[in-house]
Structure 1
């Protein structure tokens, strides 16, 4: 599965949201698995969209054929758009599906990892972080994806902000020590996204 993460700064909120609903046109696309997104909790006006495709070839075919037509309605409503692609590697918890209807919140982390530490980082994700997140009440599902240049995406869906907050304060520092996270990671960025139900396809 291919995961696409788009982040942009919205300059015309009403126009952007109107255009976002037009992406319902993705439903007929071969290989399309689902899309959702919402607003950053930390940065006013920043929107995140996550879309999922069965494979890179289905995605490339969509980009060549239908993408520009669907995107036209949002033209001029945002700036500083950044899109990144990741190959799905494994679930966080079990049975990941690109479904957004039961989640209120998405936590996204982008880790750029030192080349010689990429294998260790992946292993720690499986052995240390995954069990801890899977055991957290309110964490619904998630995935670990790999992009070019030793970049990794960790995406988790949560029932509510309160439950995600409990996980963060209780566990993160202790887990980071155990996983030697500081030695693995060259750069870490991320965000907390309040999902908008009307953006779900």
Structure 2
């Protein structure tokens, strides 16, 4: 499995790419992959510091896709900002991240870590306690995600 993340300077640049170049590039890649899924998220806020799509200082990404109950979306966003973000930001191995939103009460939490060991310290020490405090179970309909070990030669 491969994860590909693209960060666009603006929606106008994204729309221009989709209108002018996407189909040609996609046709050239036909047959090189299967079961591709694409999602477009709008940046809501940063986690820890100003997000930069720079990966040279990270060894690991944690990506979480959260579909939440529509009536709980505002609460979920507030808890991300007031509970989860400060906890991640306070973890020494966490570098930076972002929180994004897509239509249909779907959210992306992307965090960058110095190493899997540093991420493991955060995860085992805090996740259950934070989930209770943030009432995550009441907010979330579905949660999927992955730990992505970065391959520096794939970074463009």
TM-score surpassing 0.5?
yes
| Equivalent position SS for 1:62 | helix
Is residue 93 from structure 1 mapped to residue 48 from structure 2 by the alignment?
A: yes
For residue 69 of structure 2, what is the aligned residue in structure 1? 114
Is residue 170 from structure 1 mapped to residue 125 from structure 2 by the alignment?
A: yes
Is residue 137 from structure 1 mapped to residue 89 from structure 2 by the alignment?
A: no
Equivalent positions of 1:69-88 (< 5 A) are 69-88=24-43
The TM-score with structure 1 as length reference comes to 0.75
Deviation at 1:155, TM superposition (A): 0.2
Consecutive unaligned residues in structure 1, runs of 5 or more: 1-45
Consecutive unaligned residues in structure 2, runs of 5 or more: none
CA distance in 2, matches of 1:168, 1:64: 41
| Equivalent position SS for 2:63 | strand
Deviation at 1:69, TM superposition (A): 3.8
CA distance in 2, matches of 1:156, 1:198: 20
CA distance in 2, matches of 1:101, 1:69: 30
Deviation at 1:98, TM superposition (A): 0.8
Alpha-carbon deviations, 1:35-58, whole Å to 9, x = none? xxxxxxxxxxx1101000022221
| Equivalent position SS for 2:104 | coil
The TM-score with structure 2 as length reference comes to 0.96
For residue 111 of structure 2, what is the aligned residue in structure 1? 156
User: Which of 105, 122, 126 is 2:81 aligned to?
Assistant: 126
| Equivalent position SS for 2:130 | helix
| Equivalent position SS for 1:81 | coil
For residue 150 of structure 2, what is the aligned residue in structure 1? 195
RMSD: 1.1
